[in-house]
Amino acid sequence: MNINTVSIFLQTIVGGIGIGSLYALVALGYSMQYRSMGLVNFAQGSIYMIGTYFGIIWYQGMVMGLQVPYPIAFLIGIVLNMGLGLILERIFRPLANLDLMLMLLGTIGLGYVLDNMAIITWGAEGFAVKSPLPNTPIIIGGVALLPQMLLLIGVSAILMVGLTVFLSKAKIGKAMRAAASDRETASAMGIPVNTTNAVSFAIGCGLAAAAGILAAPIVYVNPAMGGPVGLKGFAAFILGGAGSIPGAIVGGLVFGVLEAVSAGFVSSAYTKGIAFVVMVVVLMFRPGGIVGEVTVDKV
Amino acid sequence: MFLDLEHLTMRFGGVVAVNDVTLSIGRGEIHGLIGPNGSGKTTIFNVVSGYYKPTSGKISFEGAQISGLPAHQITGRGFARTFQNLRLFKSMTVLDNVLVGMERHTKTSLWRAMLDPVATQREDKLLTEKAMSLLNLFGIAEFAHARATSLPYGNQRRVEMARALATDPKIVLLDEPASGLNETETDALRETLLKIRDSGVTIFIVEHDMKLVKSVCDSITVLDYGKKIAEGCYADVSRDQVVIEAYLGKEEDL
């Protein structure tokens, strides 16, 4: 391998981690909702898209011509999407107890509703978002890194660590883990399970918004942007281990890197194919996913 | 009385699981609920702890009606329970299981945890100490940091009871605490039950081990096919002809 191949390889890996962080944040949304409510939410892609708009419209001056700085638009988007999450949780609550087919139909249907609401509100045409950071790549050891990509990786990492600490340390985090583990027992411990579920759901929506707003300057913002990301986030959620927090992170990163490597070294035409084939193969040998929650049988 | 069930009926479709049961439990007593399998004991527990809304009838606790409240609010009034099949939080350690039980007494909100880490740490330390002393009471302190489900069965039962007491209840509902325990463990359980009662906590217990029931229960209610067929102290109930028939069948059946 000459030095050039090495740097192209590194470049590809970093790009994969960047896009993988995006998938990981979306996969965490699936996980938060699945572990708390037992709900697989196929509207997650649409929620990601709405969250992106919720932040970017402020940054782009689309709300009463206000020009809001990017970091503030980022926070507004997250808060608004969490609010949307609280409303959606109330709508999805009855679905969580139904069988899978109805859950699929219900969440996919609501996804369409959200997509079309976005079209009605913001138009079917998308737009490019100017990067809040300079567009000139930073070159480290022959690897050219886009500042926005570094921001995406950095902020995603902070959010993931933050979520993990929140779930293990904060009072409501512990209550959420208990409610995820056993709903009835948790309520016997005095935990208001419906409230903790709503918080889990809202956090999932907030993470999706964060992912979308961070990626917006790199991708093209439009009402159809949620579909592919929602699907890949779902693949990452399954690949890592449904309902597992570290699983969603690992699954997202693995999926992103696989995609980038197959695009860079095989052909971009096969990108999706290769990533999904790997997912299927992994699940054949580890049906619980890469990390999958370990369950110990009674002694 | 302390806890009153009045004409409680629980129907599931055409099945009457609990049929017009009235019973009262006094503060500080150990009240046994016994009866053949399928007589509605666990259903009564599930209704009292708020998992089911009774079809008819009323439950009041310390004079206030609690039937119809959601489970977590009933816990908030001072109820705790254990389950017939162990239901520990699988991915958590023994200590964390007990700490979850204490959650409702903590003041730490997320904001406070971020703004006042010192007070939060002090509270955490206090809670952990309290949890450890509960684990000590049940003789399982040495397993505090083990994954709860890795413990042998008898110890998992103890964790469940410790977790129930961690909510600082006025009354605990114990669903067959002696099931799966050997004789030595059952003896230890007896001591623990009496200790809990002496600390001022009322106990409502479903149990099949009659030796245990006889030695700890102050009063007993007997169910058969969802109906109350007898009540009183063990000596009276065990001599009751209807009870003997419910357990052994009528003489002509034999």
Tokens for A202?
């809202």
Q: ipTM value of the model?
A: 0.73
Q: Do B75 and A188 touch (CB under 8 A)?
A: yes
Q: How far apart are CA B82 and CA B175, in angstroms?
A: 6
Q: What is the pLDDT of residues A174-217, one digit of tens each?
A: 788 888 878 888 888 888 888 888 888 899 999 999 999 998 88
Q: How confident is the model at residue A297 (pLDDT cuts 50, 70, 90)?
A: very low
The proportion of chain B whose per-residue pLDDT surpasses 90, expressed as a percent, equals 24
Q: How confident is the model at residue B102 (pLDDT cuts 50, 70, 90)?
A: confident
Q: What is the pLDDT of residues B9-51, one digit of tens each?
A: 999 888 889 989 999 999 999 999 998 888 889 999 999 998 8
The proportion of chain A whose per-residue pLDDT surpasses 70, expressed as a percent, equals 96
Query: Could you give all domains of chain B from N- to C-terminal order, each with its CATH number?
Result: 1-78+169-254 (3.40.50.300), 88-168 (no CATH)
pTM equals 0.77
Chains A–B, number of C-beta pairs less than 8 Å apart: 88
Q: How far apart are CA A42 and CA B184, in angstroms?
A: 53
B236: enclosing H helix or E strand? helix B234-239
Query: Could you give all domains of chain A from N- to C-terminal order, each with its CATH number?
Result: 3-285 (1.10.3470)
Q: Do B72 and A170 touch (CB under 8 A)?
A: no
Q: How high is the pLDDT of residue B117?
A: 66
Residues 213-252 of B with CB under 8 A from A: none
pLDDT surpasses 90 at B173: yes
Q: What is the pLDDT of residues B48-68, one digit of tens each?
A: 998 888 999 999 999 899 988
pLDDT surpasses 50 at A295: no
Residue of B nearest to A178 (CA): B89
Residue of B nearest to A166 (CA): B110
Q: How high is the pLDDT of residue B171?
A: 93
pLDDT surpasses 80 at A243: no
Q: Do A298 and B149 touch (CB under 8 A)?
A: yes
